[in-house]
Amino acid sequence: MGCGTSISTEPRGRAMETEEASSPATPSPALTMKAAILIQGWYRRYMARLEMRRRYTWSIFQSIEYAGEQDQLQLSSFFSFMLDNFTHLNGSGPDLISQLLDPVVDPWLGRETTCYELIPVAESYSGPRISFPLSVSHTNGLVNAFKEHQTLHARYALQLLWETKKLLKQMPNIVHMSTSYAKEITVCGDLHGHLDDLLLIFYKNGLPSAETPYVFNGDFVDRGKQSTEVVLILFAYLLLYPNHMHLNRGNHEDHIMNLRYGFTKEVMQKYKTHGREILQLFQDVFSLLPIATVIDSKVLIVHGGISDQTDLDFLNSIERQKVKSALRLPRRSLEEPDVSRPYKQTHGPRPGSSHSRRQRPGAQTKRKRHRGLSRQDSGGSSSSSSSSSSSSLCSSRTPSCLSPRPCSSPPPPTVPFSVDGLQVPFLDSLASLPPPSPPRVEREWKQMVDVLWSDPKPQDGCTPNTFRGGGCYYGPDVTQRLLRHHGYQLLIRSHECKQEGYEICHGGNVITIFSASNYYEEGSNRGAYVKLGQDLLPRFYQYQVSRTTRKLTLTQRVRAAESSALRALQEKLFSHRSELLTGFLPFDHNNTGFVSVSEWAQVLEAVLRLDLPWRTLRPHLARLAPDGSVEYLSCFDYMGPGLHLPQVTPNLAETLVRYRTDLELIFNIIDKDHSGLISLDEFRHTWRLFSGHLGVALDDGAIDALARSIDFNKDGSIDFTEFLEAFRVVHKLDKDH
């Protein structure tokens, strides 16, 4: 079609046939151009809006993720507190919490060779079997078995971990590699339990071997559902090829992070009988993972990054396994004298009382006996420094009701914080968190935290990483200085999710490599790995695991990710309902239920501190009145609690929603026999402690009534999974299904 004749019976010509410009039906060039301009502008605007949506969706996910990591500090201080004030919650059996959190005594001490050998493997077990020394057929077997969703028997898992621990003990803190042995070294970033991504990497790039050496840069576990499989495969290859397979520790190779972010739960679910032992060994193995890898004395690979204080020589000299968790300073040795200071007594828990997110050294631990619970002195001084007092842990995210004191600007990184003791309400009096560790221990800990938690920033300088609550933001000058000092030319790190799986910054000095695709949501990002040959020029390879065979369009992906992010945000709003309402009050004296858009945005940012474009997001979060003001109660319309129990007041519902994850963790720990049930007494007690620690004013009577109502079959025990399900926030649209 489209020949240039002008016979009148032909259909009228199309615009581009200028030979027919004389025909009245053909639009003039001017009109054509005008139409083209309109269409081009309109379409580009649509694409620009889509891009904006994609960006703020990303911001939402990232903000909530980092805020959650910060919240972890909250929980860990509670554990410290529990640990220091009583050991048994159940009255029988070894101190479970100590075992999980901070083993003073290695339970396997003196039983080194026989722990796993005692475990029988049933004839009927059809999963993979391994023996030592490992061979390629064992690792192949493992990979294939995990592909088929089989679980490695506890006996083999324990043996694997035990062998890994032995191997790692012989390794230095900083491992050196060379490109002269193989063509290229492959560096991978965070996997976070994404087995599919790991298998995809192996498929594209080859299994680990002498010809295909790998460095995995931390964060193998948490968040994804197959953390166990991922990490066992990595350890198996480590044992098989100790010279060609290198693992760096990440900030999630940390038993306290694991408590919150899913690895602990996953192990407990997959290993009902031996879960605790396995977790104990994981804890040891994680703390024995090397901190850094250096290639050809030119490329430094660490999980997070550096700070202006980072001293690699010092780091190489410390006993890395002493730093079990970034979230707690290593315990002081028990021989050190107790620092005694008087503690104060009040009349019971005060809401919003002295608790602050920022951890502070306190006075002597309270040693009062109460309700049959007693502090078991494992010898000498009981004042262990289980609280983290370094200013490396800082918080800008303290909600207004929990911290009457505003956060002052963080002190310089090397000076430990020292204010008067943190008094925490405990039943009917107060207890204090113990005094700080000596300087050397603290320095070691801070150096480790910096390397595992820091993020690069575009501006020069080094500032505390308030977003994450640990480590620093380091600028190009900091990177330059460190690289130059050691004669390095490149820093490869991970720790941050990137849209394309990788990102280059600091003028090419820093590469971020992230290997978990679809991290936030299906379609949210690609994964990548980087290869370095003898030229040490990075080559990037990207991929994305896809659940569907049909490829989603950009619009569909953006929309899916956006709606997921918005739900997460709506849940956040719901779980901070009372603080938000308190915040709106000064702007709405007459209680009309309306405030201006600016005021609304201001309050949201002040309470949630997520640094998000609230005005742009407003249409998804709240309704407008005809006069343009925001009907702020509509923020909470989207969500509601799962069950309706009369004892659940809005205040209680909100608190339970907000701390649901934390409560789940605590219950999981208390429930020693994994029955899913805890006693009413345990429930009450734990709840009271937890709310006392938070400084949340909740009526004891309300908790009691709640506990009794949850005990559906009146046998004195609570199915806490059911209980928690009741408080899982449900999107109102879901409920209709």
Catalytic residue among 138, 244, 252, 303: 252
Burial 280-293, CB ≥16 within 10 A → b, else e: bbbbbbbbbbbbbb
Residues 6+ positions from 298 with CB-CB distance below 8 Å:
487, 488, 489, 490, 536
> Min. distance of Cβ 614 from another protein in angstroms?
8
Say how many C-beta atoms besides its own lie within 10 A of residue 370's C-beta: 13
Q: Shortest gap between Cβ of 611 and another protein (angstroms)?
A: 9
The nearer residue to another protein, 547 or 551, going by C-beta atoms, is: 551
State in angstroms the smallest separation of the CB of 47 from another protein. Answer: 5
**Interface ranges with another protein (CB under 8 A):** 11-12, 14-16, 25-27, 31-49, 51-56, 59, 458-459, 553-555, 559, 562, 596-598, 601, 613-616, 619-620, 628
Nearer Cβ to another protein, position 406 or 458? 458
Nearest Cα residue to 476 out of 436, 438, 437, 508: 508
Cα 532–534–538 angle (5° rounding)? 25
Smallest gap from residue 558 Cβ to another protein (A) = 10
- Count Cβ atoms within 10 A of the Cβ of residue 123 and give its class: 0-12 exposed, 13-18 middle, 19 or more buried: exposed
Q: Which is nearer to another protein, 256 or 510 (CB)?
A: 510
Task: Give the nearer residue to another protein in terms of CB position, either 620 or 660.
Answer: 620
The amino acid sitting at 144 is N
Q: Least distance (Å) from another protein to the CB of residue 14?
A: 6
Q: How far apart are CA 210 and CA 623, in angstroms?
A: 61
CB of 26 vs another protein, minimal distance in Å: 7
**Active-site residue flag, 252:** yes
Tell me the residue type at 323.
V
Length of the chain: 737
Quick one: 298 or 620, whose CB is closer to another protein?
620
CB of 546 to another protein, least distance (A): 16
327's CB contacts (< 8 A; 6+ apart) are 72, 73, 76, 254, 256, 257, 388, 393, 470
Buried b (16+ CB within 10 A) or exposed e, 295-333: bbeebbbbbbbbbbbbebeebeebebbebbbbbbbbbbe
CA–CA dist 95, 105 (Å, integer): 11
Closest CB to another protein among 215 and 610?
610
Contact 189, 526 (CB under 8 A): no
Give whichever of 330 and 501 is closer to another protein, judged by the CB atom: 501
Comparing C-alpha atoms, which of 126, 152, 121 is closest to residue 139? 152
β-bridge partners, 539:
531
Q: Any idea which residues carry the catalytic annotation?
A: 252
